[in-house]
Structure 1
Amino acid sequence: MANAARRKGGVRRHKGLIAIGTFAVLLILVIILWQWDWFIPLVDRQASAAIGRKVTIEHLHVRLGRVTRIIADDVKVAGTDQFPKSLATAQHLTVNVELLPLIRHRQIVLPLIDLDHPTIDAEAAHDGTNNWTTSDNSNSKADKPSSSPPLLGILRIEDGHVHVVDAKLKANFNIQVATTETPDPDIRPIPVDQGHIVANATGTYAGQPITGRFVGGAILSLRDKTRPYPIDLRVANGPTHVSLVGTIEQPLTFGGAKVKLLFAGPDMSLLYPLTGVPIPQTPAYKVAGNLDYSRERIAFREFTGQVGSSDLNGTITVVPAKIPTIDANLNSHNVDLEDLGGFIGADPGHGAKTPASTPKTPDAHPASTGDVLPNTPINMPKVRAANIHLVYKGDHIKNRSIPLDNIVARLNIENGVIDLKQLDFKVGTGTIFSSATLDPVGSSLKTRAHVDFHRIDLSRLLQATHTFHGQGIIGGRADITTRGSSFADMLGNGDGGISLVMSGGGDISALLPDIAGLEFGNALLSALGMPNRAQVQCFVMDMPLKNGILSTNSFLLQTTEARSIGRGTVDFKNQTLDYSLTTRSSHFSVGSLPGPINITGKLGKPAIRPGAEVVARAGAAAGLGVVLAPLALLPTIQFGVGETGACQSALEDMKTHPASPPMRNSATPPTRTKHRSH
């Protein structure tokens, strides 16, 4: 029995030794033959599922320890069927992982991420499809327990390269990326001020050459909430230059910024590809200010600058979205209206001159057409690209050829519809109030506009002629509903009208040739038999506009020398005149024949001649009374000039004696002294 027991024990020991030996051999074989590449399929599947794009690696190396190092060789992120080229590659990707925080707190700590020769090839087509948008195959965040974001340490990039091609943006540029002076990850504590990111870009963007340089702080500094992250970005896109220098507080959570933004160039409209903010053409500009963000709002605060010869300052706030919302509160102490020419279709900095300041050269209006209305399409920005709320105030208008003193504008753009709530100009003691709604339809604008002229000081207006003559007050209103792509189109298709009244003095020789821009002004005065220095006592005009044709309800011009009554039409479609003026002089003059003077032809080069019916219509009272309903205009006069005065006397005299010369003292302005005090 004892021998049998000993034999059984020996067998068990023998079997145990065999098992141990077998395990030891197997362990040695595993150690000798172990390949981390066996885990490549698992890693590929997990990475591909995470980003929704096929990921492959050639080799996998792991060095276990308290800080485990994982190295993946020849990493590739596949492209798409439309863009078959690989989206990203790296010769080597090295990641250090601290195990204790992962085991104890499920906190991922990556002391080192090392990318050797990484490349990214980003491509986008005209329709907006691209190769970098990936599917999100992860479960809803609501179904997953919350976890802390990874804590990043040193980022080391060696010879990185990014190539971007975007057909829609007309972009094709390269970015070289690297880190400088990266510290040893085994040194503790790791220096947070080493390992800056440097990126240099060259190529084209928006069809213009682009160069850029970015210098950012070390990635490790992102973990220090008390240490702002420094950035220095400088970009030149064609002639446009932008710099962004300062620090970002808590950039991972968008805690704030202290950044100085400066941009300069020959035209603000060129900023659209860089900012997404639509701006009409402007002259050369340079603007600098403080850029900040908080609560999902980007603010460009307390900026100052120069646009053409106008200064500009204020604050712009942007709420980023697919269609961003922009709030702008802007002010200019001194503004030249020519700098705003791009907003009305003129060349910025070379805007439409007033007739008094435009040199009367043969090229001013083509002799072949005689057209004077600008037919250049209004330069509309991409108004549907953003919703904009703008308030603009210009304290002082500096242009000696424009008789305006200041400007106030309030503008809203919502879903592409432009609502100009207020556009007011101060003219001496008076104001021009205007508002408009513009709805872009195709390439044209569906427009409704209204203008009120309230107590406009004639003496201030005449300063534009640089020949100061006379006193007086101008008032009235104008309305238009139309559709078109230029001012010529709009007037040619418009409905509405204009009513104006002027009460008080004024030199008719200055008013007609200079204010109205009538090159034939002096010839017209001669045809009417008026002396060059006749003083205007009253001017009344009431002309409706229908389908581009301006007709006459009332037209009265009374001076110290004569009374003129007008009738006829102005065709804005063809830019032609078909008008007649009949004058009754206070005294006999060879030129003051008792019949109409006809003005016909193109607006730019009309013909002036006596009517064939001069003799037949001499003294025809009925012909004058038909075109004038004087007392109906008294409310307009009252609103526009604040009193009836000289015009009321002139209208009553006209109603009583329609065919006779004006009474020499019937229209003497009783309030001239009062006007002069203004």
Structure 2
Amino acid sequence: MTDVRAPQLRLPILLRIGAVLLGLLLTLLLVLVFFPWNMLREPVNRYVSERTGRKFEITRRLDVDLGWRGATIKLDGVEFANPAWARDPYLVKAERAEFELRLWPLLSRRVVIPRIALVSPVLGLQMEEDGRRTWALGKNTADSGTAPVIGLLEVDNGSLDFLAGFRGVDLHADFSFDSAQGDMPLTYRIKGRYQRQALTAQGRTGNVLQIESAGAPPFPIEIDATAGRTRLKAQGTVAELSTLDGVDARFDLRGQNLGDLYPLLGIALPQTSPYALSGELRKQAKQWNAIGIKGKLGLSDIGGDMRFDQSAKLPYLSGQLRSSVMDMDDLGPLIGLPPTERSANAVDGVAPPPTITEVKRARRDPGRKVLPTATLDFERLRAMNADVKYTADRIRNVRELPLDQGAVQVKLKDGVLTLDPLKLGVAGGSLAGAIRIDGTRNPADIRAALDVRAMQLNRLIPKVETMRTSFGKLDGRVNLAGQGNSVASWMGSASGDVAALTGRGQFSNLLLEFMGLDGGEIIKFLLGGDRNVTLRCAALAFDVDKGTMHSRSVMMDTEDTVFNATGQADLSKETLDFVVRAQPKDMSILSLRTPLHIGGTLGSPSAGVEAGPLATRGALAVVLGAINPLLALAATVETGPGTDADCQEVMATAKRPASREAASGAAKAKKQ
């Protein structure tokens, strides 16, 4: 017979067991709630000190509020020492500290602290090149696995020191809290060195700083910082302080040179005149975006958008920039020259850098070379990749080089810098081509291949333009290849081909007579006015062999005179040695026709007639003058032996290099 009472007996037993367990749980909860946690203060001090290898002490009282997911730990007075190798004695020392600790991650040895609140803290953070950091909690301070994940940080007054000597960083920050400041009650001041440059900064932020992203809304922040010669003002919000993720701010950036941003931000920008830029700055993950950039670069306006992506092995800079008006004075620093006085003083609020005039005066060397000697920065060439397009709608202050407009695409990939395509509107024509600098070699391999098309000579030569002449149009090319770490050293070693050609046009007769030293014609045109003569053809072509420009075809043929020049220019020494011979085609008296010697240097050229032929004519004039003064004029009579040049042959000669070295250099330059 079945016992029907057994299930009825088990139910009260289960209820009694459940009631006992519930009672035990309630008792445990009551014990935990009313537990005198301060009794654990000394054991906690000993335990943390042992586990971390450095002294930890709760100086006055310990209290804990438990929850289902975590615990809120309250410390009245806390001191946590730094490792013995650190400069500052304490990692943290505060009047009071409160932090929330997630319990479940502790099972996997992860320390997750969603919130820390500190009252009057003194913080000492330091990191070393070998990976040691004072905030790593294990005995091995280079072990990143023991570093806590910190969410929000609340600070009520206090100070912070951060030292990373191997990066040139040594900063001290003071914080003060004032609830009357609205949504940004925490004011901070920073002073010290950043990337080995003096840094000062001040600003405000919310009292809650989000160290790691934890789903909280971005906190407001504003900053006014000066590092070296660079000043940044910004106001906006930041979602995560440790990586600056979620930045959304308006910025105003100004300084003496955009190149100064490389040690500060790791962005390899070119050397420039003083600048002032503003726009919006945003960051998501590893990508920075500068949107709506507007401002000045020296005397030029500039605007556009830029992106800086740090996700790849090498950071990548890209964007598009445009100038409505670009001033030629602003181009000097790009090739290693100091800015002009106009550019140096163009931006308000920026101390002007030394100008090219001041630099020359300080050197006290008027014969110094004129080709830029500033060396390439190979570290910058290899620091990132880039693809940036720049366009100038109009170019002004061109002086002796009448540029109209320009555009260039700058690419930097694995240490190789290219300007391709490079297009400039010059004197109604164009200069187009490419320049390549291979920074993976030392000295760098540099190549330039440029073509000249339809430049108007009357605009290209200002002195001729003032005489209201009407030249023809100029075509030409520059194909040079060589090695060097500056413009000067490259040109001093380059080989290749340089040529300029023009066909028929009009030329100032007065200017020609001055060039030919024809006194009678000069007097005639000074009394009767200038007139133009026909230019049949002209060529200016050189073979460049390892830095020396040898004249291949240097000739100008007009209806009055044929000019031929021979000689060379040494680009390494920057010396000139040319002889210009003029052969008039008409008869004239008072002619002192004799070869013209052009010498000196690029920085200080000189010109003078050759003494031998001139002395011969002078002696003849003296002899004839002794017989009859009027006969002395016979010695200066020019019978006009010059004949028309074979323009087709001249052009053909100018179009092709003659030497093997020049031909090889030109071919290499065009390969890019």
RMSD across aligned positions (CA) = 4.9
Matched to 2:548, the amino acid is: I
1:356-367 alignment, distance < 5 Å: none
1:374 corresponds to 2:371: yes
SS at match of 2:262: helix
- 1:151-183 per-residue CA deviation (whole Å, 9 max, x = no partner) reads 75xx54244222234545555431012444399
Alignment partner for residue 78 of structure 1, among 82, 91, 94?
Answer: 82
Q: Shift of the alpha carbon at 1:33?
A: 10
State the AA in 1 paired with 2:339: P
Range 394-403 or range 462-471, more displaced: 462-471
Give the aligned partner of residue 583 of structure 2: 584
- Structure 2: which 5+ residue stretches go unaligned? 1-30, 344-355, 618-637, 658-672
| Distance of 1:62 and 1:102 partners within structure 2 | 21
Match of 1:412 in 2: 411
What is the SS of the residue equivalent to 2:267? coil
Q: Is the partner of 1:210 in helix, strand or coil?
A: strand
Match of 1:40 among 30, 45, 56: 45
8 Å Cα contact 2:599/2:607 also seen in 1: yes
Question: CA separation in 2, counterparts of 1:256 and 1:99?
Answer: 25
Q: For residue 223 of structure 2, what is the aligned residue in structure 1?
A: 233
The question of whether the paired residues in 2 share the 8 Å contact of 1:71 and 1:95 is answered with yes
CA distance in 2, matches of 1:240, 1:439: 30
Q: Provide closer, same or farther for how the CA distance between residues 220 and 270 of structure 1 changes in structure 2, counting only shifts above 3 A.
A: closer
**2:437 maps to 1:438:** yes
* Secondary structure of the corresponding residue to residue 489 of structure 1: helix
Q: Find out whether 1:298 has 2:302 as its counterpart.
A: no
Map of 2:536 onto structure 1? 537
Q: Give 1:121's match in structure 2, choosing from 110, 113, 124.
A: 124
- What's the counterpart of residue 394 of structure 1? 392
Task: Decide whether the 8 Å contact of 1:436 with 1:450 is kept in 2.
Answer: yes
**1:32 positional shift:** 12
Aligned residue number for residue 317 of structure 2: 326
1:593/1:437 CA distance change after superposition, 3 Å: same
Equivalent residue, structure 1, for 2:20: none
Q: Is the 8 A contact 1:447 1:483 kept in 2?
A: yes
Q: 1:566 is aligned with what amino acid?
A: A
Give the C-alpha shift of residue 243 in structure 1: 1.3
Would the aligned equivalents of 1:229 and 1:251 in 2 still touch at CA under 8 Å? no
What is the CA distance between 1:57 and its match in structure 2?
2.8
- Distance in 2 between the 1:473 and 1:436 partners? 25
Distance verdict in 2 for CA 1:428–1:151, change over 3 Å: closer
Of 466-475 and 220-229, more deviation after overlay is shown by 220-229
Quick one: distance in 2 between partners of 1:636 and 1:453? 15
Are residues 226 and 68 of structure 1, via their aligned partners in 2, closer, same or farther at CA, if it must alter by over 3 Å?
Answer: closer
Deviations 1:634-678 (A, max 9, x none): 8689xxxxxxxxxxxxxxxxxxxxxxxxxxxxxxxxxxxxxxxxx
Report if the CA contact (8 A) 2:430-2:454 is conserved.
yes
The equivalent of 1:212 in structure 2 is 201
Match of 2:382 among 381, 384, 388: 384
Task: State the Cα distance separating 1:203 from its structure 2 match.
Answer: 3.3
User: Superposed, which structure 2 residues align to 1:234-383 within 5 Å?
Assistant: 234-248=224-238, 256-320=246-310, 323-350=314-341, 373-378=370-375, 380=377, 382-383=380-381
Whole-Å separation in 2 of the counterparts to 1:33 and 1:624: 111
Name the counterpart of 2:489.
Answer: 489
**Matched residue type, 2:505:** G
Label 1:591 to 1:369 Cα distance change in 2 as closer, same or farther (>3 A): farther
Aligned partner of 2:650 among 621, 625, 630: 630
Single out whichever of 129-138 and 542-551 deviates more from structure 2: 129-138
Pair 1:526-2:517 in alignment? yes
Q: Which amino acid aligns with 2:303?
A: N
Tell me the percent identity. 20
Instruction: Report the TM-score, using the length of structure 1 for normalisation.
Output: 0.69
Report the AA paired with residue 483 of structure 1.
Q
Structure 1: tracts of 5 or more residues without a match:
1-26, 142-147, 184-192, 353-358, 513-521, 638-678
Letter in 2 for 1:563: V
Deviation larger for 269-278 or 116-125: 116-125
SS of 2:237 mapped into structure 1: strand
The one-letter code of the counterpart of 1:78 is N
> In the aligned structure 1, how far is the partner of 2:476 from the partner of 2:464?
22
Spell out, residue by residue over 1:488-538, the C-alpha distance to the aligned partner (whole angstroms, 9 max, x if none).
4333222112111012325458999xxxxxxxxx96442799858664332
CA deviation map 1:600-651 (0-9, x unaligned): 44452434323747999x99x99999999536348689xxxxxxxxxxxxxx
After superposition, where does 1:644-663 map in structure 2 within 5 Å?
A: none
Who is 1:668 aligned against?
A: none
- Are the equivalent residues in 2 in contact too, given 1:528–1:583 (CA < 8 A)? no
Residues 130/307 of structure 1: CA separation in 2 closer, same or farther (3 Å cut): farther
Aligned length: 564
Quote the Cα distance in structure 2 between the aligned partners of 1:180 and 1:264.
30
Partner of 1:641: none
Paired with 2:249 and 2:510, the residues of 1 have a C-alpha distance of 54
Question: Partners of 2:520 and 2:486 in 1: how far apart?
Answer: 38
Distance 1:210 1:373 in 2: 36
Deviation at 1:376, TM superposition (A): 3.8
SS at match of 2:43: helix
Distance across 1 between alignment mates of 2:40 and 2:298? 69
Specify the SS of the correspondent of 1:346: coil
Alpha carbons of structure 1 residues 343 and 464: separation in structure 2 relative to 1, 3 Å: farther
Letter of the 1:583 counterpart: A
What is the identity, as a one-letter code, of the residue corresponding to 1:447?
I
Deviations 1:574-599 (A, max 9, x none): 33333223332121235767874444
Whether the 8 Å contact between 2:189 and 2:203 is mirrored in structure 1 is yes
Structure 1 residues 429 and 562: alpha-carbon distance in aligned structure 2, compared to 1, 3 A threshold: same
Cα distance between partner residues in 2 of 1:510 and 1:480: 36
- Secondary structure of 1:565's counterpart equals strand
Is 1:480 the counterpart of 2:490 in the alignment?
no
Distance 1:462 1:590, change over 3 A: same
The 8 Å contact of residues 327 and 398 in structure 2, kept in 1 or not, is answered as: no
SS at match of 1:587: coil
2:522 corresponds to 1:560 = no
CA 1:229 to 1:510, structure 2 compared with 1: closer, same or farther past 3 Å? farther
Distance 2:213 2:600 in 1: 78
Q: Could you tell me which amino acid in structure 2 is paired with residue 296 of structure 1?
A: K
- Matches of 2:40 and 2:414 in 1, distance apart? 61
Q: How does 1:179-194 map to 2 (within 5 A)?
A: 179-181=177-179
User: Residues 108 and 171 from structure 1, CA distance in 2 versus in 1: closer, same or farther, beyond 3 angstroms?
Assistant: closer
Partner of 2:423: 424
For each residue in 1:105-146, what CA deviation from the matched residue of structure 2 results, as whole angstroms up to 9, or x when unmatched? x99997863324433334567x787645855657799xxxxx
The CA distance in 1 between the partners of 2:104 and 2:122, in whole Å, is 31
Q: Secondary structure at the match of 2:505?
A: coil
State the shift of 1:64 in Å.
Answer: 4.9
Question: Which deviates the most, 627-636 or 337-346?
Answer: 627-636
Mark the CA change 1:601 to 1:416 in structure 2 (over 3 Å): closer, same or farther: same
Answer whether contact 2:551 2:568 (CA < 8 A) is retained: yes
TM-score, length-scaled by structure 2: 0.70
* 3-state SS of paired residue (2:517): helix
Which region of structure 1 is more displaced relative to structure 2, 71-80 or 418-427?
71-80
Q: CA 1:530/1:115 → structure 2, altered by over 3 Å: closer, same or farther?
A: farther
2:3 counterpart residue number = none
Q: Which moved more, 1:589-598 or 1:259-268?
A: 589-598
Please give the residue correspondences for 1:113-152 in structure 2 after superposition, counting only pairs within 5 Å. Answer: 113-123=116-126, 131-132=133-134, 134=136, 135=141, 137=143, 152=152
Read off the aligned partner of 1:398 and give its amino acid letter: R
> How far apart, in 2, do the equivalents of 1:270 and 1:219 lie?
33
